[in-house]
Structure 1
Amino acid sequence: MMCFKLNTFFIGDRRYNQCIKFIKCQKEAKYKYKCLIRMLKIYWTSEGKTVFLLISNAIWCSIYLTRLWRPPLLRRGAQSTSTEYYEEGSDVCLNFSLDDLHQTTVFMKRDNRTICITTDKSNAYMIPINWENRTFTCSVSEMGFSVCFENFQRTDTGLFSVNVSYTTINSISIKQAVPVEYVAMSVTSIRMVAGTLISLSCLTSYCIPPANVTWYKSSVDMTNHYGSIFANSGGLMRTILAFQIRLVKEDNGKPVFCKASNIHGKDVLSSLIILNVLYKPEVESNTPNPYRLIEGNTVILMCTVTTANPNTSITWKWIRTDSPATALHNGSKYTILNIQRGSSGSYSCTASNSVGTSDAATILLDVQFKPSIEIKQCMTVNETDRVVLTRNIYSNPLANVSWFDGTQLLQTQTSVNTTSFIIETVLCTDTKNFTLVASNTVQSNVTSRVELIVNCKPTVEKTNISVGVGDASGLEFSSTVIAYPRPQYVLEYEDGTKNNGMTDTLTWNSVNNFTIHFKKNVANPYDYGLYQLRISNVFGNTVIYVNVFPKRRPDSPRNVEVTCNVKGVTLKWKSSFNGGDPQTFTVYAVNGHQNTHSYPVLDKGENKIHQALLQNLQPSLTYVFYVSAQNSHGNISSDVKSCAKLEETKDLTGVVVGVVGGLLALVIGICVIVVIVHRRYACSWSCDIKFVKRNMNTAREDATDTHITERENTER
Structure 2
Amino acid sequence: MRRTNVCDGFQAFVWNAMAALCFIGFQSTCGMTAEGNREKVRCVVNSNAVPAPTITWYLGSRDITSKVGTDTTSITLTGNRTDNTKTLECRATNNNRPLMTASLTLNVEFYWTKVDNSGFRQNGATLRLLNIQRNSSGTYRCTAENNYSNGEKGTASQSVVVNVLYPPTFDTLSQRDVIEERNISITCTATPGNPSFTFWWTKVDNPGFIENGATIQLSNIQRNNSGTYRCTAENNYSNGKKGTDSQLTVVNVQYPPTIKTLSQQNIVERGHLSFTCKAIPGNPSSTTVYWTKVDNSGFRQNGATLELYNIQRNSYGTYRCTAENNYSNGEKGTVSQPMVVNVLYQPTIEKRSLQIVNESEEITLIRDIGSNPLSNASWYDGKQMLKTEISVKTATLTIENTMCTDTKNYTLVVSNGIGNTVTAMVDLIVNCKPMPDTMYIILGVTCTTRIEFSTTLMAYPEPFLELQYENGTKNDQMKINITEIKVNNFSIRIRQDGFEENNFGVYHLRASNNFGETTVIVNVIKQRKPDIPRNITVTCKVTGAIVQWISSFNGGSTQNFTVITLSGQDGTSIYLGLNDKGENEIHVTYQGNLKPSVTYCFFVSAKNSHGSSLSKAISCTTVKETTSSLTGVFAGGVVGALVLVTIILILVFFVHRRYTFMYKCCE
Q: TM over 0.5, yes or no? A: yes
Cα distance change, pair 619–360 in 1 and its aligned pair in 2 (3 A) = closer
- Could you tell me how far apart the structure 1 residues matched to 2:597 and 2:220 are? 117
- Could you tell me how far apart the structure 1 residues matched to 2:229 and 2:186 are? 13
Cα distance change, pair 426–589 in 1 and its aligned pair in 2 (3 A) = closer
Cα deviation per residue 1:631-677 (whole Å; 9 max; x = unaligned)? 23332334567788787525344764785699589769855775576
Q: 2:576 aligns with which of 596, 599, 609?
A: 599
Cα deviation per residue 1:369-415 (whole Å; 9 max; x = unaligned)? 33333322222111121223333333333333333333333333334
Q: Does 1:584 align with 2:560?
A: yes
Q: 1:629 aligns with which of 591, 606, 615?
A: 606
Q: How does 1:98-247 map to 2 (within 5 A)?
A: 185-187=170-172, 189-190=174-175, 192-194=177-179, 199-203=186-190, 206-207=193-194, 209-218=195-204, 219=206, 224=211, 226=213, 241=214
Matched position secondary structure for 1:429: helix
**Would the aligned equivalents of 2:256 and 2:335 in 1 still touch at CA under 8 Å?**
no
Cα distance change, pair 578–112 in 1 and its aligned pair in 2 (3 A) = farther
Q: 2:281 aligns with which of 302, 307, 314?
A: 307
**Would the aligned equivalents of 1:281 and 1:305 in 2 still touch at CA under 8 Å?**
no
Residue 600 of structure 1: how far off its partner (Å): 1.0
- Could you tell me how far apart the structure 1 residues matched to 2:215 and 2:421 are? 79
Q: How does 1:383-462 map to 2 (within 5 A)?
A: 383-442=359-418, 445-462=421-438
Name 1:296's counterpart in structure 2.
Answer: 270
Cα deviation per residue 1:242-283 (whole Å; 9 max; x = unaligned)? 667779563785112233443678675535333445x46434
- Could you tell me how far apart the structure 1 residues matched to 2:508 and 2:462 are? 19
**Would the aligned equivalents of 1:470 and 1:550 in 2 still touch at CA under 8 Å?**
yes
* Aligned partner letter, 1:203: A
Q: Does 1:329 align with 2:301?
A: yes
Cα distance change, pair 608–655 in 1 and its aligned pair in 2 (3 A) = farther
Residue 480 of structure 1: how far off its partner (Å): 1.5
- Structure 1 gaps of 5+ residues are 1-86, 89-110, 114-130, 134-153, 155-174, 227-240, 683-711
Name 1:554's counterpart in structure 2.
Answer: 530
**Would the aligned equivalents of 1:204 and 1:260 in 2 still touch at CA under 8 Å?**
no
Name 2:493's counterpart in structure 1.
Answer: 517
Higher CA-based Rg: 2
Name 2:338's counterpart in structure 1.
Answer: 363
Matched position secondary structure for 2:332: coil
Percentage of pairs with the same residue: 35
**Would the aligned equivalents of 2:278 and 2:304 in 1 still touch at CA under 8 Å?**
yes
**Would the aligned equivalents of 2:610 and 2:663 in 1 still touch at CA under 8 Å?**
no
Q: Does 1:282 align with 2:252?
A: no
Q: 1:465 aligns with which of 434, 441, 444?
A: 441
**Would the aligned equivalents of 1:456 and 1:539 in 2 still touch at CA under 8 Å?**
yes
Residue 460 of structure 1: how far off its partner (Å): 1.4
**Would the aligned equivalents of 2:223 and 2:255 in 1 still touch at CA under 8 Å?**
no
Q: How does 1:474-485 map to 2 (within 5 A)?
A: 474-485=450-461
Residue 459 of structure 1: how far off its partner (Å): 0.9
- Could you tell me how far apart the structure 2 residues matched to 1:571 and 1:582 are? 21
Residue 532 of structure 1: how far off its partner (Å): 1.9
- Could you tell me how far apart the structure 1 residues matched to 2:184 and 2:545 are? 113
**Would the aligned equivalents of 1:468 and 1:550 in 2 still touch at CA under 8 Å?**
yes
**Would the aligned equivalents of 1:318 and 1:334 in 2 still touch at CA under 8 Å?**
yes
**Would the aligned equivalents of 2:199 and 2:212 in 1 still touch at CA under 8 Å?**
no
**Would the aligned equivalents of 1:460 and 1:482 in 2 still touch at CA under 8 Å?**
yes
* Aligned partner letter, 1:393: I
Cα distance change, pair 332–657 in 1 and its aligned pair in 2 (3 A) = closer
Q: 2:467 aligns with which of 491, 511, 516?
A: 491
Residue 212 of structure 1: how far off its partner (Å): 4.0
* Aligned partner letter, 2:230: F
Name 1:50's counterpart in structure 2.
Answer: none
- Could you tell me how far apart the structure 1 residues matched to 2:208 and 2:643 are? 136
Name 2:110's counterpart in structure 1.
Answer: none
Cα distance change, pair 642–196 in 1 and its aligned pair in 2 (3 A) = closer
Q: Between 629-638 and 567-576, report the one with greater CA deviation.
A: 567-576
Q: Between 475-484 and 612-621, report the one with greater CA deviation.
A: 612-621
Cα distance change, pair 652–503 in 1 and its aligned pair in 2 (3 A) = farther
Residue 361 of structure 1: how far off its partner (Å): 0.6
- Could you tell me how far apart the structure 2 residues matched to 1:486 and 1:310 are? 83
Name 1:167's counterpart in structure 2.
Answer: none
**Would the aligned equivalents of 1:346 and 1:362 in 2 still touch at CA under 8 Å?**
no
Q: Does 1:254 align with 2:254?
A: no
- Could you tell me how far apart the structure 2 residues matched to 1:245 and 1:663 are? 121
**Would the aligned equivalents of 2:533 and 2:604 in 1 still touch at CA under 8 Å?**
yes
- Could you tell me how far apart the structure 1 residues matched to 2:537 and 2:281 are? 97
- Could you tell me how far apart the structure 2 residues matched to 1:440 and 1:353 are? 47
Q: 1:340 aligns with which of 287, 291, 312?
A: 312
TM-score by length of 1: 0.58
- RMSD of aligned alpha carbons: 4.6
TM-score by length of 2: 0.62
* Aligned partner letter, 1:344: Y
* Aligned partner letter, 1:538: N
Q: Does 1:508 align with 2:484?
A: yes
Cα distance change, pair 538–316 in 1 and its aligned pair in 2 (3 A) = same
- Could you tell me how far apart the structure 2 residues matched to 1:517 and 1:440 are? 48
Cα distance change, pair 512–632 in 1 and its aligned pair in 2 (3 A) = same
Cα distance change, pair 381–132 in 1 and its aligned pair in 2 (3 A) = farther
Residue 481 of structure 1: how far off its partner (Å): 0.9
- Could you tell me how far apart the structure 1 residues matched to 2:251 and 2:633 are? 124
Matched position secondary structure for 1:457: strand
Q: How does 1:537-576 map to 2 (within 5 A)?
A: 537-557=513-533, 567=543, 575-576=551-552
- Could you tell me how far apart the structure 2 residues matched to 1:654 and 1:203 are? 134
Residue 489 of structure 1: how far off its partner (Å): 1.0
- Could you tell me how far apart the structure 2 residues matched to 1:281 and 1:665 are? 105
**Would the aligned equivalents of 1:180 and 1:260 in 2 still touch at CA under 8 Å?**
no
* Aligned partner letter, 1:361: S
**Would the aligned equivalents of 1:458 and 1:484 in 2 still touch at CA under 8 Å?**
yes
* Aligned partner letter, 1:255: T
**Would the aligned equivalents of 2:543 and 2:594 in 1 still touch at CA under 8 Å?**
no
